[in-house]
Amino acid sequence: MGSIKQMLRESIEALSDEEAEYLLVIAKKLISRKMVKKASGTEVAFDDIRFPASPPSFETVEPLRGHGKPASELLIEDRR
């Protein structure tokens, strides 16, 4: 069995021009990504991490008061 790059070259030869163009776009994206090592040792691309420009704000709401037993208690009783 040949090397991985050799097998990739052979696979590319079997592609149509349209498929090869699509693969080229993916390869260029992969090459241009800057990789960073996470503490766990796995790699993640900066492109995969997105932060919002400004965090969304949420309205403060008052909890509703219900009557009867809380659903969590009913669930526990049902499982006994």
Residue 64 lies in a domain: no
Q: Is 35 part of a structural domain of the chain?
A: yes
Residue type present at position 25: V
CA-based torsion, 38, 41, 45, 48: positive or negative: negative
Residue 47 has pLDDT above 80, yes or no: no
In a domain, residue 80? The reply is: no
Structural domain includes residue 43:
yes
Residue 19 pLDDT class (50, 70, 90 cuts): very high
**Percentage of the chain modeled with pLDDT above 70:** 70
DSSP state of 45: E
Domains in the chain, number? 1
Residue 74 lies in a domain: no
Q: Flag whether 40 is in a domain.
A: yes
Range of the domain at 31: 1-49
Has residue 41 been placed in a domain?
A: yes
From the list 21, 50, 46, the residue with the least C-alpha distance to 33 is 46
pLDDT of residue 29: 76
- Model confidence over 48-62: pLDDT tens digits? 666 666 777 888 988
Do 12 and 20 touch, CB atoms closer than 8 A? yes
